[in-house]
Amino acid sequence: MTEKQFELIDRATERKSELPVRTGTIGPAVVDISSINKDLGLFTYDPGFGLTAATESRITYIDGDAGVLLYRGYPVEQLAEKSSFMEVAYLLLLGELPSRKQLEGFSGSIRYHTMINETLLRFFNGFHHNAHPMAMVSAVVASMSAFYHDTMDIHNPRQREIFAHRIIAKIPTIAAAAHKHSLGQPFIYPRNDLGYCSNALHMLFAVPCEPYQVDSVAAEALDLLFILHADHEQNASTSTVRLAGSTGANPYAAISAGVSALWGPAHGGANEAVLSMLEQIGSVDNIAKYLAMAKDKSSHFRLMGFGHRVSTNFDPRAKIIREMCHKVLVRLGRPDNPLLELALRLEEIALKDEYFISRKLYPNVDFYSGIIYSAIGIPRSMFTVMFAIARTVGWVAHWQEMISDPAMRIGRPRQLYTGPTRRDYIDITKRV
Ligand code: ACO
């Protein structure tokens, strides 16, 4: 919807540009600056895209100050309490909660696609055993574009749907294969009689020489973590998927770009970094020292799992995960977890500290998730991979939304050039 207008005036030339304001269904309105280059010969400058809405979207809404996160309008707290990851995946992809029949059809299709081409499995042998699983997952997901290239017409809705089901179904299989490769254990094939998370745990932990019983507590915990990680509107990895996909690139390649972007410690890699940090801090007695380091800009140390570009109040996902930590540890029979105790104390002290208060730095989704992943036996190097499994749903939903939009354009940011002005080439014999 377009409403009132702002006017931008170049005082030197008296040239003007009328800037319409566009309003969404909720949240702040945006100023549409698309005419200012034509009217005034200007571009805008917004490093880190802190203020720029790059797209319209109907998928996820965040009010960071109020601690609100809605998937297709539904509060994440309600989905975490009442829904399942498969249902949330359907909701994010298709916009509405499914009927029982629709959910069965959707889950059935996801189960049908869990196996990966045997040749793709051999790719893992090209990696050293200590390769980071995120590197393997990113490479193997990108390689899927080689298997589904000629058959993939991004303008065909049915082919897009098959792509969506394939990648959501296969990403746990690829993730588990990366884990098994790191351990030097044989790859475990998916079991299509199991639910999404139970199957993921089966592929991660089963071995061919003995029976494996999926722990229902672990499967439930994983399902809840996956719901909370499924989408977070235009975050760095989702924007990466959109940008790569906007070129018309094969969508598996675009998802692989998202996996790579997620890996960084400022984004999804923070869950791994949080656990390393807690171990580094070691004891409550050292918290003051590390908080001082986090406040000292010259130390390059940040409190991992704290702060968020958009969530500038308590992230509802962090609240749920924190509450869930105790329950899961008790149900798994491991109620005393020194790292959880340390994390709780660190949070308490940081939230009373003027530095964190004034900058609105709260625990984010990654602060507690690693403690749960650890408790269910997932090694630290796999934390971000688990995040990637869940976020694949969000990436696919955004890619679908973008590709099916007739107004889609290639993503192409501008720049403020500050390099040398035009100069003539100097022959190498004349350079000093
Ligand atoms: N520890 C200490 N200081 C911090 C932290 C932190 N974790 N986060 C931000 N700050 C400080 C900055 O130094 C800056 O201080 P200043 O105003 O004195 O210069 C101020 O808070 C604002 O920080 P920015 O870096 O400008 O905030 P930005 O929105 O660009 O960054 C980010 C957000 C990357 C998440 C940042 O808070 C951070 O690095 N956090 C730690 C890593 C992390 O947990 N990432 C996961 C995010 S959740 C996710 O992506 C799934």
pLDDT tens track for 201-250: 999 999 999 999 999 999 999 999 999 999 999 999 999 999 999 999 99
Half-sphere exposure of 165 (CA within 13 A, CB side): 15
In the reported structure, the alpha carbon of residue 311 is separated from the centroid of ligand 1 by a whole-number distance in angstroms of: 11
418 confidence band (pLDDT: 50, 70, 90): very high
**Residue 391 CB less than 6 A away from ligand 1:** no
**Residue 365 CB less than 6 A away from ligand 1:** yes
pLDDT computed for residue 308 by the predictor = 93
For 190-213, the pLDDT digits (tens) are 999 999 999 999 999 999 999 999
**In this model, does residue 335 exceed pLDDT 90?**
no
402, 291 Cβ separation under 8 angstroms = no
**Residue 359 CB less than 6 A away from ligand 1:** yes
Q: At 255, list the tokens.
A: 């998802």
- Rounded Cα distance between 427 and 220, Å, is 68
Match 């540890």 to its residue by tokens.
329
What global pTM score does this model have? 0.95
312 confidence band (pLDDT: 50, 70, 90): confident
- Give me the helices (H) in 206-352, please: 216-229, 236-245, 251-263, 270-281, 287-295, 316-331, 338-351
Atom of ligand 1 nearest to the CA of 48: 30
pLDDT computed for residue 225 by the predictor = 97
Give, for 201, the enclosing helix (H) or strand (E): helix 196-205
267 is catalytic: no
Half-sphere exposure of 75 (CA within 13 A, CB side): 10
98 confidence band (pLDDT: 50, 70, 90): very high
pLDDT computed for residue 333 by the predictor = 84
Cα–Cα distance list, 80 to 75, 84, 315 (Å)? 9, 7, 14
Q: At 14, list the tokens.
A: 């008296």
Degrees (nearest 5) of the Cα angle 312, 378, 326?
55
**In this model, does residue 3 exceed pLDDT 70?**
no
- Rounded Cα distance between 223 and 80, Å, is 9
Shortest CA distance to 320 belongs to which of 328, 309, 332?
328
Pocket test for ligand 1, best of 302, 313, 369, 373 (most atoms within 8 A of CB): 302
**Residue 302 CB less than 6 A away from ligand 1:** yes
**In this model, does residue 286 exceed pLDDT 80?**
yes
Q: Which amino acid is at 34?
A: S
**Residue 62 CB less than 6 A away from ligand 1:** no
In the reported structure, the alpha carbon of residue 64 is separated from the centroid of ligand 1 by a whole-number distance in angstroms of: 14
Shortest CA distance to 180 belongs to which of 202, 151, 153?
202
Count, residues in the chain: 432
pLDDT computed for residue 396 by the predictor = 98
Give, for 4, the enclosing helix (H) or strand (E): strand 2-10
pLDDT computed for residue 79 by the predictor = 98
For 148-200, the pLDDT digits (tens) are 887 789 999 999 999 999 999 999 999 999 999 999 999 999 999 999 999 99
Options 366, 398, 424, 427, the catalytic residue: 366
Shortest CA distance to 226 belongs to which of 196, 203, 263?
196
Pocket test for ligand 1, best of 240, 296, 304, 308 (most atoms within 8 A of CB): 308
40 exposed, middle or buried (CB, 10 Å; 0-12, 13-18, 19+)?
A: middle
Neighbours of 374 (CB within 10 A): 18
- Rounded Cα distance between 338 and 140, Å, is 36
| Mean of per-residue pLDDT scores for the chain | 95
**For the chain, give me the number of helices (H) and strands (E)?**
18, 6
**In this model, does residue 354 exceed pLDDT 70?**
yes
Q: At 60, list the tokens.
A: 């996820």
pLDDT computed for residue 5 by the predictor = 84
Q: Which residues contact 351 (CB under 8 A, 6 or more apart)?
A: 357, 362
**In this model, does residue 363 exceed pLDDT 80?**
yes
2 confidence band (pLDDT: 50, 70, 90): low
pLDDT computed for residue 326 by the predictor = 86
pLDDT computed for residue 334 by the predictor = 80
Mean pLDDT confidence for 305-317: 91
Shortest CA distance to 315 belongs to which of 403, 379, 249, 235?
235
**Residue 307 CB less than 6 A away from ligand 1:** yes
In the reported structure, the alpha carbon of residue 225 is separated from the centroid of ligand 1 by a whole-number distance in angstroms of: 23
The conformation of residue 186, written as its DSSP 8-state character, comes to P
- Give me the helices (H) in 148-269, please: 157-183, 196-205, 216-229, 236-245, 251-263
**In this model, does residue 344 exceed pLDDT 60?**
yes
pLDDT computed for residue 151 by the predictor = 76
Task: Mean pLDDT check: name the lowest of 93-97, 137-141, 176-180, 298-302.
Answer: 298-302
Which residue puts its alpha carbon closest to atom 8 of ligand 1? 307
Atom of ligand 1 nearest to the CA of 309: 29
**Residue 206 CB less than 6 A away from ligand 1:** no
For 28-80, the pLDDT digits (tens) are 999 999 999 999 999 999 999 999 999 999 999 999 999 999 999 999 999 99
Options 229, 308, 315, 398, the catalytic residue: 308
Half-sphere exposure of 15 (CA within 13 A, CB side): 10
**In this model, does residue 25 exceed pLDDT 90?**
yes
In the reported structure, the alpha carbon of residue 337 is separated from the centroid of ligand 1 by a whole-number distance in angstroms of: 27
Q: Which residues contact 25 (CB under 8 A, 6 or more apart)?
A: none
pLDDT top residue among 267 and 334? 267
In the reported structure, the alpha carbon of residue 3 is separated from the centroid of ligand 1 by a whole-number distance in angstroms of: 34
Axis crossing angle, helix 383-403 with helix 157-183, rounded to the nearest 10:
170
The conformation of residue 235, written as its DSSP 8-state character, comes to -
- Rounded Cα distance between 409 and 415, Å, is 18
- Rounded Cα distance between 47 and 121, Å, is 40
Match 């609240």 to its residue by tokens.
319
**Residue 308 CB less than 6 A away from ligand 1:** yes
Q: At 290, list the tokens.
A: 């590390």
pLDDT computed for residue 1 by the predictor = 55
**Residue 270 CB less than 6 A away from ligand 1:** yes
pLDDT computed for residue 336 by the predictor = 83
pLDDT computed for residue 314 by the predictor = 84
308 is catalytic: yes
